[in-house]
Structure 1
């Protein structure tokens, strides 16, 4: 029987043990039914979040009286975890919490640094030492912006910001299958503006080509659909177009495959492409919202992430799954370099301090392998090439390739296409 004037302990104020979240006697907060399906490890992670939230919100935590019956129950044999006094100390240090969970979850406490310094120069020294010889690249729209192709999310200039002219129900609708089948014209109007062949590869594209030429490129995983990696000379074997590309197209009715050249001719005639056999709608093989990623993505990631000894991430916000998960699939001893206008892919600061985060850690005292170089991707690639002693050779490659493309464009021009080429 409850005593008058006594306050009932909340869930956070009760001693914790791994099975406590599965107990039917515990109050439900909407998540309870989900937690009971998972392991005690998830229970610990959940408790960490609750503890740290409480610590940040309450500067003065008072001890709450408890019922004698509840105290007896919490001291049952086999219950392990926090005592009330330990739990309610507001100044509990995070490293003490981390040590506790490291013991219970067998988490590593610290890693020895794998780079001489957490800078671009440290990455260069790592490559020069011969340790970085299977380099995996993850790239997004940011490597193509200097070619004149907008990214998706930049305020004011991003693709989604500038789609109002197509009278869409919402910006993402242009890449939704249901809307495409109902009204394909906006997509193909946009495709004409962004179509491959109207832009030159950037310095960033050619840096990956340069790594390939030196036998250092394990694979390039790209989110981009502009095919500029192919134009830059990265071979099909060394390329995974995670979100598809315009390289091929297929009929949505009969499945017939069409080439890049055929699709380009149709688009520049300002026509909605239809199949010449069944008159079905033809769609480029880019991944729309709700569609599965290409099978090649899933076929390659396991071995590539295992073999990779250096990960270079360029021009991506790392918010789209499952592509962004690649950063966490490489070995814990694999250095990761981010070349981007801003930091992305970071773990939550509190979880990083506890050693429980899976994202990148650039700044904490435990940082040991992650480097962020902030600025334009092209500038970052040039800076790294210079540190490696490759700058002159690399710039000569870019100049020669751009001259070759200019020459080809003056002799071959698709019907209706413009002669203007966007230079990086």
Structure 2
């Protein structure tokens, strides 16, 4: 269902901002709970908290397999999807999407990056999330505890009392405007 989806204006605005930070005194770490690759398609470097739908791995030995549905990566570990269960050529374990399902731990490195970034940022921007699913929902609290300003961009603002600025609009509308102002500084 997501194979034909394309980035929206918010994805492109974030990529533009990330590119702009390379020649400024700003830094931007983009952390997502989304499992699609729309940020990458727009040109961003991203930390995926919940994995990536276009990556696959063995449920037993962790061997990485790449889907042919995205990108140009092809090797002996590239797989095609059909209606049959796929098994690992190394151990016969089942191949599964490399995403985090409910009840599973977040990837250690991705979570460490998210925590370190939240603990050391000046501004934490939460975009289009309910702010209800933990542990990711706790990142804004961590940022706030360490002195960051919290901005929420969401057409349906959350009842989060730690937010300093609420921009009640779709990210695809507000992000291009915001990034235009930021990159003009």
TM-score for the superposition, normalised by structure 2: 0.81
Pair 1:246–1:208, CA change in 2 (3 A): same
- RMSD across aligned C-alpha pairs, in angstroms? 2.3
Distance 1:205 1:264 in 2: 27
Instruction: Find out whether 1:233 has 2:39 as its counterpart.
Output: no
Q: Displacement, 1:249?
A: 1.5
**Equivalent position of 1:287 in the other structure:** 100
Instruction: Find out whether 1:221 has 2:28 as its counterpart.
Output: no
Match of 1:377 among 138, 154, 171: 171
Q: How does 1:246-325 map to 2 (within 5 A)?
A: 246-261=53-68, 266-267=80-81, 269-325=82-138
> Is residue 208–residue 217 contact of structure 1 (8 Å, CA) maintained in 2?
no
Q: Displacement, 1:302?
A: 3.8
Q: How does 1:111-150 map to 2 (within 5 A)?
A: none
Distance 1:318 1:326 in 2: 9
> What stretches of structure 2 of length at least 5 have no aligned partner?
69-73
**Equivalent position of 2:151 in the other structure:** 337
> What stretches of structure 1 of length at least 5 have no aligned partner?
1-192, 348-358, 361-369, 391-424
Q: String of CA shifts for 1:23-48, please: whole Å, max 9, x gaps.
A: xxxxxxxxxxxxxxxxxxxxxxxxxx
> Is residue 317–residue 345 contact of structure 1 (8 Å, CA) maintained in 2?
no
TM-score for the superposition, normalised by structure 1: 0.38
**Equivalent position of 2:2 in the other structure:** 194
Q: Displacement, 1:389?
A: 6.6
Query: In proportion to residue count, which structure has more strand?
Result: 2
Distance 1:387 1:329 in 2: 27
Q: How does 1:167-186 map to 2 (within 5 A)?
A: none
Distance 2:138 2:159 in 1: 9
Distance 1:264 1:217 in 2: 35
**Equivalent position of 1:123 in the other structure:** none
Q: Which has the larger radius of gyration?
A: 1
Query: In proportion to residue count, which structure has more helix?
Result: 1
What SS does the aligned partner of 2:85 have?
A: coil
Distance 1:249 1:345 in 2: 36
Q: String of CA shifts for 1:343-373, please: whole Å, max 9, x gaps.
A: 11513xxxxxxxxxxx33xxxxxxxxx1111
Q: Displacement, 1:321?
A: 0.1
Q: String of CA shifts for 1:57-101, please: whole Å, max 9, x gaps.
A: xxxxxxxxxxxxxxxxxxxxxxxxxxxxxxxxxxxxxxxxxxxxx
Q: Any runs of at least 4 consecutive aligned residues in structure 1 with deviations exceeding 6 A, and if so which?
A: none
